[in-house]
Amino acid sequence: MQRNINVRVKGGLHARPIAELVRLSRAFRADIEILHDGRVALTRSSMKLLMLGVKEGQTVTLRGRGDDTQTAMDQICRFLDGAQAQATPPAKPAIAASDGLAIGPAFHFVQPRVHPEPDYVEACAVESELRRLQGAAARLTARIRADAACTAHAGTRQILQALSDLAEDTEWLDTLAGRVRAGMSSVAAVQQTGTENARQIAALDDPYASARAEDMRSVAHLMALELQGQKPLTLNAAPDGAIIVADELPALDIGNTDLARLGGIVCMKGAVTSHAAIIARAYGVPAVFGAEALRDRLCAAHRIAIDGARGLVIPDPDAATEQQFADAAQAAQKDAADLLRFRDVAPQTPAGHAITVAANLGSVAELDRACAAGAMGVGLFRTELMFIDAAGPPAEDDQYQVYSAILARFPEHPVIIRTLDIGADKPLRGLTATAEENPALGVRGIRLCLSRPDVFKPQLRALLRAAPHGHLKVMLPMVSDLSELRATRDLIDQCRTELTHEGTAHGTFDLGIMVETPAAVLTADLLAQEAAFFSIGTNDLTQYLMAADRLNPNVAQLCRADHPSVLAAIKAVCAAASRHGIWVGICGEAAADPALVPLFIAAGVTELSMSPGAIARVKRQICGLEGL
Ligand code: PEP
Ligand code: MG
């Protein structure tokens, strides 16, 4: 079967539409080829399609064979005709936070407000007000304790325990009772005391003071709700398969529910790299963030369809969209069965380039999923999530346990642990500076660690102690100057000397850097002489090269890893690494982008690290990369 078609895709067949075309074609068994200018490309091969160089307005020939050729041709023709973009007008691209399609009932996650009450009560009502206070305090403490006891997530448990300690603190309760005895209403006493305590705690000279202050505010809010008989909303109230609609999702709420039960998540705020997005990807829950432009329609919606890979949100989808999603979900299921074949493959391109496809992880809880997905080790372990989840910096021993546990799960493969990367989009209450005008250009990543040896050294010591348990590599985030690598090496030497004197067992590890700043790209030749490897963080590298905030949906069209400037930077980094004999990996979100995988490999990248859900798909793509 053969058909001519005029390509009306905006801008022609460049990386982005090619990714969509490849995705569309994989839903069919038929082999469809595009013939153009004497060349031919299978619509499943992004590399070949790129090489065709089809421009908008050019005519190409489609040729197909296989049992579902007719349907495949129809859909591909519609796509090339530019019809698909016009067929979904209600959809507004936001931030593609976690891949996957979902359609289901909307669950509006909005916390109740405390109703206004008079600040004072009559003298005759003081005793009953006191009983009201004591009853609410007892119920609240019991509820938080019960929640802590049944959460499987260690970080959440710690946060809940910290909250229950505060809720039953005798000084807090005595102050409240004193104020109520003096005639204040219990709600006013709770709100006023909570605010005062939080302010005092925040002023303490303690790196985690602001975290404690936030806990105090949470306890006061929960207690005021309890006094009024209002229950705080939890994600556990959402029905199975629901699409959560929220302003943003705090770590506590996410950690406290069985995420896999949910259909999807839509947040008005948030970013690809926010804590919530990372957790959603880790659990394979489709998510779209930055949907602010659709706020009104989302808040009123009863059903929502989302395409997490494309950042599409469709409030109250019509019957045609429902059908489209059902078909796509069925195709995705079929595809998942095919992908199983690639799970245990160590992929090589047809020309014989071996590529390591590793997992990006943020917690030990994600290990099972990574192993089941066929991860060839860990290419990025984001240690900051351990710090963000905990009630204070995790102790050296706790970190040692976590690092050792990850190494033990990958006896055959490297495990790359990134040192603490907080600041900017990953603020940590109590550790990151709050008064920076430009946090993304401020004291973050390695800059913060070097300014806080009290936080950095326990991490380095824990890494040295864990090293004998496997193939450990360590990398530094946000490096912009060689001195940062050298200063870290000095600290590691100090830690090693201390451990030796203490008689504590330890080992060694390769020390590499993340390439995330334009400075690192431009001095890659210098850095490559002292770093054991490069891992390119395309999320930050794109933001800094394009001067486009990775969190700001209004500049998302600029913050693209497929921009020629980013691709040129990656090529330059690979060339510098090759001159100095070190390897290069990619651990930003672009590592799993089907349109970019061939370009990265052609540039010389030998490791790609991504969310576990993308591993088998990328392995399959690598094995089919003709010409590489
Ligand atoms: C990156 O910047 O690409 C990266 C992997 O680091 P993070 O997203 O955690 O900042
Ligand atoms: Mg980064």
What is the total count of domains within the chain? 4
CATH number at residue 57: 3.30.1340.10
Contacts (Cβ under 8 Å, ≥6 apart) of 138: none
Residue 206 has pLDDT above 80, yes or no: no
Q: Are 60 and 35 in contact (CB under 8 A)?
A: yes
| Token code pair at residue 296 | 């009104």
Has residue 118 been placed in a domain?
no
Please tell me the predicted confidence (pLDDT) of residue 259: 82
- CB burial of residue 259 (10 Å; 0-12, 13-18, 19+): buried
Confidence of residue 27 (pLDDT cuts 50, 70, 90): low
Residue 611 CA: which ligand is closest? 1
Question: Please, are residues 72 and 28 in contact by the beta-carbon 8 Å criterion?
Answer: yes
Domain of residue 329, CATH code: 3.50.30.10
618 neighbors 567 (Cβ within 8 angstroms): no
How far is residue 134's CA from residue 194's CA, in Å, rounded to a whole number? 16
Find the catalytic residue in 267, 449, 559, 587. 587
Dihedral angle sign, alpha carbons of residues 290, 292, 293, 299: positive
Give the pLDDT score at 396. Answer: 96
Residue 147: partners with Cβ closer than 8 Å, 6 or more residues away: 160, 256
Q: What is the pLDDT of residue 239?
A: 94
Angstrom distances, CA of residue 446 to CA of 79, 267, 302, 383: 45, 30, 45, 13
Please, what is the angle between helix 154-167 and helix 126-150, to 10°?
160
Q: 290's torsion region: left (phi>0), alpha (psi -120 to 50) or beta?
A: left
Answer yes or no: do 392 and 529 share one domain: yes
d(CA 118, CA 327): 56
Ligand 1 centre from 540 Cα, in Å? Answer: 6
Query: How far, in Å, are 249, 255, 337, 433, 563 from residue 208 at the CA level?
Result: 21, 20, 47, 12, 39
> In whole angstroms, what is the distance from residue 424 CA to residue 219 CA?
27
Q: Are 461 and 509 in contact (CB under 8 A)?
A: no
Shared domain check, 367 and 392: yes
The least confident of 150-164, 193-207, 357-371 is 150-164
**Residue 525: alpha-carbon gap to chain centroid:** 30
Q: Whose CA is closest to atom 1 on ligand 1?
A: 537
Taking the alpha carbons at both ends of the chain, their separation in whole angstroms is 29
Q: Pick the closest to residue 61 from 82, 85, 32 (CA basis).
A: 32
Enumerate residues lining ligand 1, CB below 6 A: 273, 380, 382, 421, 516, 537-540, 587-588
pLDDT above 90: percentage of residues in the chain: 56
Q: Which residues have their alpha-adjacent CB atom under 5 A from ion ligand 2?
A: 516, 537, 540
For residue 440, what are the contacts with CB-CB under 8 A and spacing of at least 6?
Answer: 424, 425, 543, 549
Percent of the chain with pLDDT over 70: 93
Residue 92 has what pLDDT? Answer: 44
Determine the Cα–Cα distance for residues 546 and 232; give it in Å rounded to an integer. Answer: 41
- The verdict on 430 and 578 lying in the same domain is yes
- Tell me the C-alpha to C-alpha distance, in Å, between residue 22 and each of 5, 28, 603: 17, 10, 21
- Residue 603 within any structural domain of the chain: yes
Q: State which of 291, 317, 338 marks the end of a domain.
A: 338
Instruction: Give the tens place of pLDDT for each residue, 476-485.
Output: 999 999 999 9
> What pLDDT score does 374 carry?
96
Q: Report strand pairing: 356-361 vs 378-382.
A: parallel
Report DSSP state, residue 94.
-
Which of 172-186, 243-257, 499-513 has the lowest average pLDDT? 243-257
List C-alpha distances in Å: 395 to 255, 307, 454. 21, 40, 11
**3-state SS string for 42-77:** ECCCHHHHHHHCCCCCCEEEEEEECCCHHHHHHHHH
What's the pLDDT score for residue 595?
93
Asked if 348 and 203 sit in the same domain, the reply is no
Asked if residue 410 and residue 287 are part of one domain, the reply reads: no
Of the listed ranges 72-81, 273-282, 520-529, the one predicted with least confidence? 273-282
- Active-site position among 221, 275, 413, 506: 275
pLDDT in the model for residue 214: 74
* Cα 299 to chain centroid, rounded: 24
Q: Is the pLDDT of residue 88 over 70?
A: no
Q: Looking at the structure, do residues 149 and 164 belong to the same domain, yes or no?
A: yes
- 330 belongs to a structural domain: yes
- Name the band, by pLDDT with cuts 50, 70 and 90, for residue 155: low
The pLDDT confidence band at residue 545, using thresholds 50, 70 and 90, is: very high
Report the pLDDT value the prediction gives residue 570, as an integer from 0 to 100.
98
User: Does pLDDT of 90 surpass 60?
Assistant: no
Identify which of 516, 498, 436 has the alpha carbon closest to the alpha carbon of residue 461.
498
Q: Is the dihedral of CA 337, 341, 346, 348 positive or negative?
A: negative
Most informative mutation of 381, 539, 543 for ligand 1 (most atoms within 8 A of CB):
539
The 10s digit of each residue's pLDDT in 567-623 is: 999 999 999 999 999 999 999 989 999 999 999 999 999 999 998 989 999 999 999
pLDDT recorded at residue 86: 37
Q: Which helix (H) or strand (E) holds 40?
A: strand 39-42
Which CA distances in Å does 80 have to 8, 58, 292, 498, 557?
A: 6, 11, 30, 64, 22
In angstroms, what is the span from residue 477 Cα to ligand 2's centroid? Answer: 6
Q: Are residues 222 and 254 in the same domain?
A: no
Q: Which atom of ligand 1 is nearest to the CA of 360?
A: 5
Same domain, 280 and 162: no
For position 153, which CATH number holds?
1.10.274.10
Residue 91 has pLDDT above 50, yes or no: no
275 has catalytic annotation: yes
**CA-CA-CA-CA dihedral for 486, 491, 496, 497, to nearest 10:** 110
Lowest mean pLDDT across 131-145, 237-251, 516-530:
237-251
pLDDT of 1 reads 80
| pLDDT over threshold 60, residue 538 | yes
pLDDT at residue 165 in the model: 85
Residue 372 and residue 340: Cα distance in Å, rounded?
Answer: 10
Q: How far apart are CA 439 and CA 436, in angstroms?
A: 5
More confident residue, 69 or 312: 312
pTM: 0.67
Look at residues 338, 372, 401 and tell me which one is the last residue of a structural domain.
338
Angle between helices 69-80 and 15-25 (to 10 degrees): 160
What distance in Å separates the CA atoms of residue 76 and residue 27, rounded to the nearest whole number? 11
Question: How many CB atoms neighbour CB 91 within 10 A?
Answer: 20
The closest-lying atom of ligand 1 relative to the alpha carbon of residue 382 is: 9
Nearest ligand 1 atom, CA 536: 3
**Is residue 117 domain-resident?**
no
- Provide the pairing of β-strand 510-515 with 471-476: parallel
* Orientation angle between helical segments 170-181 and 186-202, nearest 10 degrees: 140
Ligand 1 nearest atom to the CA of residue 273, by list position: 8
Q: How far is the CA of 401 from the centre of ligand 1 (A)?
A: 24
Residue 409 belongs to a domain with what CATH number? 3.20.20.60
95 — pLDDT class (breaks 50, 70, 90) = confident
Instruction: Supply angle C-alpha 302, 307, 310, rounded to 5.
Output: 140
In a domain, 628, yes or no: no
In a domain, 65, yes or no: yes
Expressed as residue numbers, the domain containing 213 is 123-227
Same domain assignment for residues 402 and 515: yes
**Does residue 253 form part of some domain?**
yes
Q: Of 227, 252, 286, which marks where a domain is finished?
A: 227
**245 and 190 share one domain:** no
Mean pLDDT of 447-461: 96
What tens digit of pLDDT does each residue of 236-289 get? 899 999 999 998 887 667 767 788 889 999 998 876 656 677 778 777 899 999
One domain for residues 414 and 532: yes
CB 32 within 8 A of CB 25: yes
User: Is the same domain home to 413 and 541?
Assistant: yes
Does residue 254 lie in a domain region?
A: yes
Confidence of residue 120 (pLDDT cuts 50, 70, 90): very high
